[in-house]
């Protein structure tokens, strides 16, 4: 079986899935289970701060953050399964993480590097 990315990239992408992916999914679904907005140290985050002046509903921001986390989870698990069709989903999640400043942005850059440079070649013999 030819993998879409090398095994070392899968391990790194799993770390990317765990930190911003699970975190974004948790933060996005938090208001639907608790009835209050997710906040760290009294701040709701840059997406919420941007949505207020633009008049966007805060529910849409929470759903977008949950969708970004879900894209991380589904995409990386698809790559572990050897499905190359999951690559665009991980690419979407990595680019989406670049739009959220902080640690998720750093992990998005690392994921983009893994998706770009740690690809399997078709002439290489898979392990």
Render pLDDT for 52-86 as a digit per residue (tens, 0 to 9): 999 999 999 999 999 999 999 999 999 998 888 89
Confidence of residue 127 (pLDDT cuts 50, 70, 90): low
pLDDT confidence of residue 120:
75
| Residue 126 reports pLDDT greater than 80 | no
DSSP state of 119: B
pLDDT at 1 over 60: no
């Amino acid at each position: 079986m030819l993998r879409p990315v090398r095994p070392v990239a899968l391990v790194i992408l799993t770390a990317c899935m765990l930190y911003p992916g699970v975190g974004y999914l948790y933060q996005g679904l938090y208001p639907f289970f608790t009835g209050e907005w997710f906040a760290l140290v009294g701040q709701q985050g840059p997406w919420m701060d941007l949505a207020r002046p633009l008049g966007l509903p805060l529910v849409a921001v929470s759903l977008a953050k949950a969708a970004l986390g879900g894209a991380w989870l589904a995409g990386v698990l698809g790559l572990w399964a050897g499905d190359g069709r999951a690559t665009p989903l991980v690419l979407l999640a990595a680019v989406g993480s670049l739009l959220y400043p902080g640690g998720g942005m750093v992990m998005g850059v690392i994921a983009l590097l893994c998706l770009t440079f740690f690809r399997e070649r078709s002439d290489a013999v898979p392990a």
